[in-house]
Amino acid sequence: MATLHAPSTGASHKVLRVLEAALLHPRFTDIVDESGLPKSTVHRILSSLVEEGYVSGDAENGYRAGRRFMSLAGLVLGAADITTAARDVVDRLVRDVDCTIHVGALSGDEMVYVIREDSSKPYRMKSRVGLSIPLHSSGMGKAVLGEWSEADLRGYAERTGLPARTDATITTVDGLLAAAAEVRERGYALDLSENEVGTVCVSAAIHDYTGRATHGISISSIALEHPGDTIAAFAPQAMAAAAEISALLGAQPRG
């Protein structure tokens, strides 16, 4: 079996250029164009990559990521720690909006806080890392529920009974379906004193490398400072931060 030795920096660079081009483009001619290398060089490198399992396919049927590459990618992405990956994004977001930032992880029918970063404001949220909250009453939870099918939403309602946390909590199936549709339409979720009286937030879903919504991020404040739905003014920042963290976890850009 051939071995992909790297005798020189130039040779290594060529291999990487061809590998990247093959992962982006299935056609041989497009790989040649993308890499900017002679056809003979591309053909030789592709042959080695196919033999080693980093690329699969051929010029006739097209090229794609090979078994060995996918195995290595899975190991790296599976080991991704959101608390590490999201830290810089969260710190920057706190400075930009001066509100408390939470990141939560989907765990069954609940969201579990994994990051909480406070603002410079004198008040503090009652939240804490490790605390679980219902999906239907929280901004992060509703952001994730917005990507569930109707059958899954109905199943969630049946399992949990949609218990009320405050007078504003969604407690009916129709209300849950309507809230999920609203999240899908606008790309973010609001919690207007639905989980805790006097606390508001705007949230967006975070996706992993499979494209599944597995986490959420929220910009949280108090209703006295952000009355009504004015916290929604921070929706663009919440969605941008969620997209950035998703990319760090290996998610593809969403159209």
pTM across the whole model: 0.71
pLDDT < 50 regions, the chain: 1-8, 79
Enumerate the CATH 3.30.450.40 domain ranges in the chain, comma separated: 80-248
Specify the pLDDT at position 73. 66
> What is the structure's pLDDT at 2?
41
CA Rg, the chain, in Å? 23
Fold for the domain defined by 9-77: Arc Repressor Mutant, subunit A (1.10.10)
Query: How many Å apart are CA 103 and CA 117, to the nearest integer?
Result: 9
All CATH 1.10.10.10 domain ranges in the chain, comma separated: 9-77
- CA distances for 254 relative to 32, 61, 184, angstroms: 27, 27, 13
Domain at 80-248, CATH homologous superfamily: GAF domain (3.30.450.40)
